Structure 1
Amino acid sequence: MRPTFLYDGDCAFCTTCAGFLERHIPTSAEVLPWQYADLAALGVTQEQAEAAVQWIGAGHAAGPDAIARVLRDAGSYWRPLGAVLGAPPVRWLAWPVYRWIARHRDRMPGGTPACALPQAERPTPRPTNDPVTR
Structure 2
Amino acid sequence: MTVISVSGDHPVIVFDAMCVLCSANAAFVLRHDRAGRFRLASMQGEAGAALYRRFGIDPANPETLIVVDGDIALRNSDAVLAIWAGLDHPWNALAMLRLVPRWFRDPVYRWVARHRYRVFGRRSTCWIPTAEQASRIL
Superposition TM-score, scaled by structure 1 size: 0.65
Cα deviation, residue 104, structure 1? 1.7
Contact 1:65 1:85 in 2 (8 A): no
More helix by share: 1
Equivalent of residue 115 in structure 2, options 104, 112, 118: 104
Cα deviation, residue 74, structure 1? 2.0
2: CA distance, partners of 1:107 / 1:24: 27
The answer for the alignment partner of 2:24 in structure 1 is: 16
Cα deviation, residue 72, structure 1? 1.3
Cα deviation, residue 62, structure 1? 0.7
Could you list the runs of 5+ residues in structure 1 that have no partner in the other structure?
115-122, 126-134
Higher RCO (CA 8 Å, separation ≥ 6 residues): 2
Could you list the runs of 5+ residues in structure 2 that have no partner in the other structure?
1-6, 126-138
User: How many pairs does the alignment contain?
Assistant: 112
Taking only aligned residues, the RMSD between alpha carbons, in angstroms, comes to: 2.8
The answer for the alignment partner of 1:55 in structure 2 is: 67
Of 24-33 and 6-15, deviating more is 24-33
**Which residue identity is paired with 2:77?**
P
Superposition TM-score, scaled by structure 2 size: 0.64
Query: In percent, how many aligned pairs have the same letter?
Result: 27
Q: Is 1:93 equivalent to 2:112 in the alignment?
A: no
Q: Cα–Cα, structure 1 residues 64 and 72, in superposed 2: closer, same or farther, change >3 Å?
A: same
**Which residue identity is paired with 2:32?**
H
Contact 1:73 1:79 in 2 (8 A): yes
The answer for the alignment partner of 2:38 in structure 1 is: 29
Cα deviation, residue 34, structure 1? 1.8
